[in-house]
Amino acid sequence: MSAEREAPGEDSIRVVCRFRPLNDAEERAGSKFIVKFPPGNDDQCVNLGGKVYMFDKVFKPNASQEKVYNEAAKSIVKDVLMGYNGTIFAYGQTSSGKTHTMEGVMGDPHLQGIIPRIVNDIFNHIYGMEENLEFHIKVSYFEIYMDKIRDLMDVSKVNLSVHEDKNRIPYVKGVTERFVTSPEEVFEVIEEGKANRHIAVTNMNEHSSRSHSVFLINVKQENMENQKKLSGKLYLVDLAGSEKVSKTGAEGTVLDEAKNINKSLSALGNVISALADGNKSHIPYRDSKLTRILQESLGGNARTTIVTCCSPASFNESETKTTLDFGRRAKTIKNAVTVNEELTAEEWKRRYEKEKEKATRYKAKLEKAEAELNRWRAGESVGQEEQVNLRDPMDVSTVSVDLTPVAPVAPVLAAAPAAPLARADLDAERERLYQQLDDKDEEINQQSQLVEKLKEQMMEQEELISATRRDYESLQQEMNRISAENESAKEEAKEVLQALEELAVNYDQKSQEVEAKNRDNESISEELAKQQSTLNTIMSELAQVKDSSAHQRRKLNDLLTSLFKDLNEMGIAFGADLKPSLQPFDPNSTKSEEEFAMARIYVSKMKSEVKNLVQRCQTLESTQGECSKKVDESERELVDLRLLISQHEAKMKALQENMKEVENKKRQLEETVDSLNEECAKLKAAEQMQAVSTIDKAAEQEQALLIKGALEQQLDQHREAHQKQVATLRDEITEKQTVIEDLRDSKRELTLIHEQLVRDFDRLKLEESDKSHKLQELLTANERREQARQDLKASFIFFLHLVTFKNLNVLFSQGLEETVAKELQTLHNLRKLFVQDLQSRVKKSLSGEEPEDGGGSLAQKQKISFLENNLDQLTKVHKQLVRDNADLRCELPKLEKRLRATMERVKVLEAALKEAKEGAMRDRKRYQYEVDRIKEAVRQKNLARRGHAAQIAKPIRAGQHPHQAANQPPAISTPSAVVVPKRILTPGAQQRTDS
């Protein structure tokens, strides 16, 4: 494939100039803004120190990124998509705004620089183009530092070489090319490259000011209809700072670096000067890699824009001047720009026809010329008009088209002039030397890559060696430890062997014993068989019993539930927290053990309650005693009071008698008064009679008067005495009556008290009887509970016996397990029955009911006794077994201890062995891994010599929506556009595609 250039169009390099604002440092240093922008002139002039510079565009400090892009870079997008090469590079001293101009703030719509804007624009253009165009876009990103090209997409490529393709166009050989289908992918590449750049260097600022970063976008398009192919390369270069070394204050190696960098920049200056001088005989592109890469951009086939970035500060005046001079010189350079078009077969054919025609014409002409020459040689003279016209203009134009690549041409004519021959020789020699130089470059590149890889490998190997050494040491230690352990283990093994021998002897004994035991066991098993048969009969009986018991159970259940209810109530009455444990009794429940346990808990709670009750009873008894004492006392008091009452009654009787006597006396006295009154009346009558017979009887009268007076006196005396006596008697009576009243009152009181006491006594008696009754009740309840508890205990013990028996049986003979299990099941059932029976009995005894069906309980009793007998037999067997077991067990611990020690030792040894093995495995793996890695590295190296890994082309189509393109895998186009599937291109092929 070869590209042909159409008639090249002359195109000067565009140079724009951008001034940034004064920065903080400059303002702080008091620098002045020294540039002037003369008005008018379409922003193309700048005045520095009185000198006016003209550029294609001058951007003032306030020019926005967008403005700079639109006016300096935007047109290049179309050019590139039309098949032209393009270059934009930023030149200027450090911190003059080169990176700001080229990259800006990525992702910021206002502050992003030229590169992101161009990338977005390219894709937007493509999306707006005809549908039958297919694009392949690939990008590369590298930097040039100290004249070494470092791939920013692959850090292992540290010194890439520049080669020329067959069209003599230089390219960076082996640089990573990434196919991209969207701006985002491009930005990812840039980010990745930047990250790699940061990783490789310590001081990024310094590094970026001393290295050139180159971002290359390669756009290829193919018209799917006429197979017309166009390609355009766009170099976006952020150059190193153009300042003089002295200004950076660099020293030593840094100085060397700076010189080297400045060397590449000065090479750039030289190239531009040579181009500007018009002396195109030799342009020193080969002085540096930078100039070689930019060869096409400077004086070659490319539309080039140089952005010179300047500081407006007085401090930087000289640098700004140098920059402006550089720009001015560059502006004079003329490039010859052509479209990079790849010809189709049709066109090639046409061209071939044309050339063929030309060749025939040449042939004819040559024949004419030869004929003329022959005539001349023959001594003829040929006339002017007959001579072949060698200055034919057609001939000149045809000569200029030379399809054969330039190659050393051997001189054909000895008579040819010497100077052009020597020149051709020299050119050829130079070409050869250049070729050699390129080859050497390539070799250097390969060697340096190899060196990098080897260095890495060395480091890894060293690490590996140190790791291995460490491992070896640790393994040695481990070995020592293990061998020591091995020794001790050997000794232990000996001991263990001895012990094992002993054990073997013991084992023989034991096996004999075991045989004996087995025999015993057989007899026991026979016995068991017998038992089994009996059990079977029992089972059948049991079935009958079950029927009866089911009925009983129901009853029992009712009873138990009522009992539990009672207990519950009792619990509630006790106020203790027994309630939660009580559940209604469920005879069908299989969780009898649980229930028993519950019941046990309940009973124990009850016990504690009963204890409480007994205590309370005791206190009640003591209070009762006190009460009875009190009652006795009150009785005694009552007796005393009764005595008192009887005394008082006697007294009253005496007093009444007294009163009667006094009454009698009174009556007597009244009778005497009456008799005396009668006598008086008699005497009056007698007086009257005597009055009749008075005169004679005056003496007598007087006498009678005297007598009368004496009598009256006597009477009065009597009366007085009588009255006195009556008064005293009356007094006495009233006295007595008051006494009687008092006594009566006291008597009434006493009777009241007595009644009260009697009532109290009755009440106390009643209380006492009540209490004693209650006590009696509690005692009976307690007894009942005690009884129930004992029963439960008995059943529990029975159960335990059974369990131990079962365990022993299991221990003794595995074969018997099943039968024993069955037996146990039956026993368990029997136990249940037994327990139920017990419960029913308890219930009955508690409720004081008469046994309802005496026949049933009798049968049960018989069964129980039978079962008890069975139990006894079993217990005997069990005891025998336990004894045997104990004998065996006595010796067991000793042997077990030994065995355990041995086992532990063996385990420890095993673990140590395992560890050692694992360590060895790990080491082996690591070695294996290392070997694999080295192998892989060697393979990679070989591969690198042969060529690089394949890459997948990501064709994108014009007319596709960006989102669609982003959402769909880029290689798969819409159905109408499925033309080019994923293509696998080898880098060699890729590199040649654009040539």
Residues forming the annotated binding site for ATP?
92-99
Convert residues 252-291 into a mask of x (bound to ligand ADP by CB under 6 A) and - (unbound).
----------------------------------------
Nearer to Mg ion (CB atom), residue 197 or residue 843 = 197
Please spell the DSSP secondary structure of 14-60, one letter per residue: EEEEEEPPPPHHHHHTT--B-EE--SSGGG-EEEETTEEEE-SEEE-
Number of residues counted as binding ligand ADP (CB under 6 A): 14
Instruction: List alpha helices for 278-417, DSSP H.
Output: 289-293, 317-331, 345-377, 393-400
Q: Closest residue to ligand ADP, Cβ-based?
A: 97
Nearer to Mg ion (CB atom), residue 98 or residue 843 = 98
Q: Rounded to the nearest whole angstrom, what is the least distance from the CB of residue 99 to Mg ion in the complex?
A: 3
Q: Rounded to the nearest whole angstrom, what is the least distance from the CB of residue 307 to Mg ion in the complex?
A: 12
Q: Rounded to the nearest whole angstrom, what is the least distance from the CB of residue 391 to ligand ADP in the complex?
A: 56
Q: Which two structure tokens, joined as six digits, stand for 10?
A: 């002359």
Q: Rounded to the nearest whole angstrom, what is the least distance from the CB of residue 38 to ligand ADP in the complex?
A: 20
Nearer to Mg ion (CB atom), residue 99 or residue 398 = 99
Residues forming beta bridges with residue 145, ordered by sequence position? 148
Residues 108, 113, 114, 115: what is their CA dihedral angle, to the nearest 10 degrees? -70
Residues 156, 157, 158, 159: what is their CA dihedral angle, to the nearest 10 degrees? 150
Q: Rounded to the nearest whole angstrom, what is the least distance from the CB of residue 151 to ligand ADP in the complex?
A: 21
Q: Rounded to the nearest whole angstrom, what is the least distance from the CB of residue 30 to ligand ADP in the complex?
A: 19
Q: Rounded to the nearest whole angstrom, what is the least distance from the CB of residue 241 to ligand ADP in the complex?
A: 6
With tokens 């042997």, the residue in question is: 895
Restricting to residues 297-336, which ones interact with ligand ADP according to CB under 6 A? 309
Restricting to residues 60-99, which ones interact with ligand ADP according to CB under 6 A? 92, 94-99
Q: Rounded to the nearest whole angstrom, what is the least distance from the CB of residue 210 to Mg ion in the complex?
A: 10
Q: Are strands 51-54 and 178-180 parallel, antiparallel or unpaired?
A: unpaired
CB under 5 to 8 A by kind: which of ligand ADP, Mg ion, none does 138 bind? none
987 binds ligand ADP (CB under 6 A): no
Residues forming beta bridges with residue 985, ordered by sequence position? 951
Q: Rounded to the nearest whole angstrom, what is the least distance from the CB of residue 104 to Mg ion in the complex?
A: 11
Cα separation, 79 vs 98, whole angstroms: 23
Cα separation, 31 vs 982, whole angstroms: 59
Three-state DSSP at 608 gives helix
* CA–centroid distance for 466 within its chain: 38
Binding site for Mg ion (CB under 5 A): 98-99, 208
- Residue 215's φ and ψ, nearest 5 degrees, are -115, 120
Nearer to ligand ADP (CB atom), residue 238 or residue 492 = 238
Nearer to Mg ion (CB atom), residue 197 or residue 292 = 197
Cα separation, 350 vs 4, whole angstroms: 14
Nearer to ligand ADP (CB atom), residue 25 or residue 373 = 25
CB under 5 to 8 A by kind: which of Mg ion, ligand ADP, none does 954 bind? none
- Residue 7's φ and ψ, nearest 5 degrees, are -55, 115
Nearer to ligand ADP (CB atom), residue 86 or residue 92 = 92
Helix or strand run (H / E) with residue 11:
strand 9-12
Which is nearest to 312 in space by CA: 31, 540, 630, 10?
A: 31
Q: How many CB atoms lie within 10 A of CB 285?
A: 25
Q: Rounded to the nearest whole angstrom, what is the least distance from the CB of residue 64 to ligand ADP in the complex?
A: 9
829 binds ligand ADP (CB under 6 A): no
In the chain, the amino acid numbered 614 is V
Nearer to Mg ion (CB atom), residue 23 or residue 875 = 23
CB under 5 to 8 A by kind: which of ligand ADP, Mg ion, none does 193 bind? none
CB under 5 to 8 A by kind: which of ligand ADP, Mg ion, none does 286 bind? none
In the chain, the amino acid numbered 583 is Q
Cα separation, 87 vs 674, whole angstroms: 185
Nearer to ligand ADP (CB atom), residue 301 or residue 322 = 322
Helix or strand run (H / E) with residue 951:
strand 951-952
Restricting to residues 95-124, which ones interact with ligand ADP according to CB under 6 A? 95-100
Q: Rounded to the nearest whole angstrom, what is the least distance from the CB of residue 238 to ligand ADP in the complex?
A: 7
Specify whether the CB–CB gap between 90 and 307 falls below 8 A: yes
Which is nearest to 926 in space by CA: 393, 464, 529, 253?
A: 464
Nearer to ligand ADP (CB atom), residue 109 or residue 947 = 109
21 binds ligand ADP (CB under 6 A): yes
CB under 5 to 8 A by kind: which of ligand ADP, Mg ion, none does 157 bind? none
Nearer to ligand ADP (CB atom), residue 97 or residue 170 = 97
Q: Rounded to the nearest whole angstrom, what is the least distance from the CB of residue 208 to Mg ion in the complex?
A: 5
Q: How far apart are the two ends of the chain, measured CA to CA in Å?
A: 7
Residue 174, phi-psi category: left (phi > 0), alpha (psi -120 to 50), beta (remainder):
left
Q: Rounded to the nearest whole angstrom, what is the least distance from the CB of residue 97 to ligand ADP in the complex?
A: 3
CB under 5 to 8 A by kind: which of Mg ion, ligand ADP, none does 819 bind? none
Q: Which two structure tokens, joined as six digits, stand for 352?
A: 């071939």
Q: Rounded to the nearest whole angstrom, what is the least distance from the CB of residue 194 to ligand ADP in the complex?
A: 13
Q: Which residues contact 134 (CB under 8 A, 6 or more apart)?
A: 221, 222, 224, 955, 956, 957, 958, 979, 980
> Rounded to the nearest 5 degrees, what angle is found at the Cα of 821, between the Cα atoms of 817 and 823?
120
Restricting to residues 199-258, which ones interact with ligand ADP according to CB under 6 A? 209, 241
Convert residues 367-386 into a mask of x (bound to ligand ADP by CB under 6 A) and - (unbound).
--------------------
Nearer to ligand ADP (CB atom), residue 240 or residue 271 = 240
Nearer to Mg ion (CB atom), residue 92 or residue 174 = 92
Cα separation, 99 vs 37, whole angstroms: 24
Q: Which two structure tokens, joined as six digits, stand for 503?
A: 């054990």
> Rounded to the nearest 5 degrees, what angle is found at the Cα of 897, between the Cα atoms of 893 and 898?
125
Which residue ranges are tagged as binding site?
Answer: 92-99
SS3 assignment for 809-867: HHHHCCCCHHHHHHHHHHHHHHHHHHHHHHHHHHHHHHHCCCCCCHHHHHHHHHHHHHH
Nearer to ligand ADP (CB atom), residue 20 or residue 806 = 20
Which is nearest to 323 in space by CA: 559, 32, 606, 98?
A: 98
CB under 5 to 8 A by kind: which of ligand ADP, Mg ion, none does 309 bind? ligand ADP
Residues forming beta bridges with residue 308, ordered by sequence position? 17, 91
CB under 5 to 8 A by kind: which of Mg ion, ligand ADP, none does 31 bind? none
Binding site for ligand ADP (CB under 6 A): 20-21, 23, 92, 94-100, 209, 241, 309
